[in-house]
A = this chain, B = another copy of it.
Amino acid sequence: MLALEGMPLGHRFTFLEPAPDPPAGRLGEVIAAPYDDPVALARIAAGADVVTYEFENVPAASAAYLARRVPVLPPPRALGATQDRLAEKQMFDSLGIPTAPFHRLDTTADLDPALAVTGLPTVVKTRRFGYDGKGQIVARSAGEAAAALDTLGAGLIAERFIHFERELSIVAVRGRGGHRICYPLAENHHRDGILRTSHAPAPGVTTLLQGTAEELAGRIMDQLDYVGVLAIELFELDGRLLANEMAPRVHNSGHWTLDGADASQFENHIRAITGFPLARPRVPAPAAMLNIIGALPDPAAIASVPGTHLHLYDKAPRPGRKLGHVNITGPDEAAVRAGAEQVWALLPGEPPVLPIGARHG
């Protein structure tokens, strides 16, 4: 999607991708190699004006190698800050950004101090390489927490289990000159740890809440001298926001911007890393994004629902794999919700448990 949006801006793309036959191969040259292959990295350094990534588990050493030869944006320090959940939470803390109380959890000696901070239930997570809900266990007792430590191994973090009302996310973009734009907060619903749907602007968000989210995104991006799209997942609780985690890349909860805003997160990411002015996005009406996961629906049936915009990634179906998404636009929130319900009936898997805008108890 970065290439599809970046080509009309005059750019050409080369991709480093370890997996065979990536869909991106239809949009530019693919260098098929592991992310730490020195020959591949040298080729990229020699041929690119700027390097970016859409996957935060790129080895930091590879990013650092490239960054000595060519601009790598977002800056590699953003990878460092997001690849370790503990470092990420500590940075939130140091910037005065509220989070769920957390504690490192490496050995059984850490159990008591961790539980003293988080209480029970506690969420035990791997500090690295967690994705789509993998590497997380909710422990309801000290015994379960110890078992989680056994299961997941060392290098964990324990976090207080937050009975949040809903998950929101903000997609923010910072340009090379430090200027910044933000998209409206999206309301996100997961199932089995995988994002199923985002609605934006999230229903019922006040100007104050939007402003709070933008301000905290700005604090993080300024701290990292960030350039590009940064997404921050937030828990809403009693009108406050707790930062859960962030992603130094274009984000699934911002895919609605392809059709719901006049400039998408992908265009603004490309603008940012190439030193262009950012496009302040207009969002004339509500939009929704529904992920297509595991199996492909009948595309003609999707297209028959008014306001739908199909985005397939040209990936082979596989359980749990994101194969595309459907954006829905309409004149108002009611029309978008009606469209989303029609699309849910056509997609594999079940819709989210709670309707959009409803709050958890």
List chain A positions with a Cβ less than 8 A from chain B.
4, 7-10, 12, 26-28, 259, 262-263, 271, 275-277, 279-280, 282, 284-285, 299-300, 303-304, 306-312, 314, 324, 329-331
Contacts and interface: CB of A to CB of B under 8 A. Distances in A.
A216 to B, nearest CB: 26
A9 B276 contact: no
Nearest to A331: B282
Contacts of A276: 299-300, 303-304
Contact of A277 (B26, B275, B304, B309): B304
A336 to B, nearest CB: 12
10 closest residue pairs by CB, A with B: A277-B304, A284-B284, A10-B312, A8-B311, A276-B303, A262-B329, A277-B303, A276-B300, A9-B310, A10-B299
Given A26-B27, A263-B309, A284-B285, A8 B4 contact: yes
A299 B312 CA distance: 29
Contacts of A271: 303
Contacts of A8: 4, 310-312, 324
B329 A282 contact: yes
Nearest to A328: B262
Contacts of A262: 259, 307, 309, 329
Contacts of A308: 279
A149 B306 CA distance: 52
A255 B11 CA distance: 20
Nearest to A306: B280
Nearest to A271: B303
Contacts of A284: 284-285
Contacts of A259: 262
Contacts of A309: 262-263, 279
A9 B304 contact: no
27 contacts: A4-B7, A4-B8, A7-B314, A8-B310, A8-B311, A8-B324, A9-B312, A10-B310, A10-B312, A12-B314, A26-B28, A27-B27, A259-B262, A262-B309, A263-B309, A271-B303, A275-B300, A276-B300, A276-B303, A277-B300, A279-B303, A279-B306, A280-B306, A282-B329, A282-B330, A282-B331, A284-B284
A262 B261 CA distance: 10
Contact of A314 (B10, B280, B299): B10
A9 B331 contact: no
A255 to B, nearest CB: 11
Contacts of A329: 262, 282
